[in-house]
């Protein structure tokens, strides 16, 4: 017959084993629940990433279609109409008998053809800026500003501090962003007399700023502050490129008026 001490020890051992089994079961249940929640979270993240990639792809396609539409309109309204006018003049020159003002018509045809050549070069440059591939982003921005100052009424200033060039793909994206912002300001910055463009390396950040002194953004109903990003096909294109760069876009209304766009991009550390 077991002694009371042996009975007490056996009872204690039984409860100890039972508690260990309960603890092991709770731990196993926790691990299974944690793993299940982790898998669900990973699935949600993958789903969100997939949706984001789909939205980004749709925005890229929309941007490409918008650029094609703009190029088609430039070809139709610019080169197309110029060549059509030149063709009419050439037909007049080829009529029998020839017109009395044939020399003047010939001079006009030459001027029209020169205009068509210039328009073709401009469209070609907008499709792919050769100066960017040859000389880099700084020279491409300088060329963009010089051309805009020659052809537009809005005076554009440029400040450059770009000692650490990026890869060509990133430079092309930044160039397109600046090109779109300059075009947007020329078209929509009411009352603006000056546009300032700056590309500045600030430590590990590269900052592109485009600021005009126009009337600024229209205030939304209710007197609430201006939105961070204004809707529009051009600005949606900019937003797509900003996301592809992994950069940040800030849109502000300075106290003095106008509109300021600032794109900030983290650049890799310069090797020592």
219 and 89 within one domain: no
What is the phi/psi pair of residue 253, to 5°?
-115, 105
Out of 35-39, 115-119, 230-234, 260-264, least confident range: 230-234
How confident is the prediction for the chain on average, in pLDDT? 80
The residue with greater pLDDT, 60 or 272, is 60
pLDDT at position 158 over 50 = yes
19 and 68 within one domain: yes
103 and 4 within one domain: yes
* pLDDT the model gives residue 145: 92
Expressed in percent and rounded to 5, the helix, strand and coil fractions of the chain are 65, 15, 25
Instruction: Read off the pTM.
Output: 0.61
CA separation, residue 228 to residues 16, 120, 261 (Å): 63, 36, 10
236 and 106 within one domain: no
Total number of domains in the chain? 2
Q: State the CATH number of the domain containing residue 154.
A: 3.30.565.10
pLDDT at position 60 over 70 = no
154 and 52 within one domain: no
Q: Which token pair is 265?
A: 């991009």
222 and 160 within one domain: yes
Structural domain for 68, as ranges: 1-127
Mean pLDDT of the 167-188 span? 90
The residue with greater pLDDT, 116 or 100, is 116
61 and 168 within one domain: no
């Amino acid at each position: 017959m077991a002694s009371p001490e042996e009975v007490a020890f056996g009872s204690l051992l039984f409860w100890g084993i039972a508690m260990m089994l309960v603890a092991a079961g709770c731990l196993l249940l926790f691990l299974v629940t944690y793993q299940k929640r982790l898998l669900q979270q990973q699935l949600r993240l993958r789903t969100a990433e997939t949706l984001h990639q789909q939205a980004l792809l749709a925005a890229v396609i929309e941007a490409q279609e918008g650029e094609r539409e703009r190029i088609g309109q430039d070809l139709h309204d610019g080169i197309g109409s110029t060549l059509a006018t030149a063709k009419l003049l050439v037909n007049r020159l080829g009529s029998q008998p020839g017109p009395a003002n044939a020399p003047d018509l010939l001079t006009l045809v030459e001027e029209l053809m020169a205009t068509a050549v210039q328009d073709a070069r401009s469209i070609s440059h907008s499709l792919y800026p050769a100066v960017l591939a040859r000389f880099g982003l700084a020279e491409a921005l300088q060329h963009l500003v010089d051309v805009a100052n020659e052809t537009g009424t809005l005076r554009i200033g440029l400040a450059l501090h770009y000692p650490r060039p990026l890869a060509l793909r990133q430079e092309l994206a930044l160039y397109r962003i600046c090109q779109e912002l300059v075009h947007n300001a020329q078209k929509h910055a009411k009352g603006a007399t000056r546009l300032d463009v700056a590309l500045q390396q600030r430590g590990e950040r590269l900052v592109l700023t485009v600021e005009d002194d126009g009337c600024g953004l229209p205030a939304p109903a209710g007197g609430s502050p201006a939105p961070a990003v204004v809707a529009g096909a051009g600005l949606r294109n900019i937003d797509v490129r900003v996301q592809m760069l992994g950069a940040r876009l800030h849109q502000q209304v300075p106290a003095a008026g106008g509109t300021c766009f600032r794109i900030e991009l983290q650049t890799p550390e310069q090797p020592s």
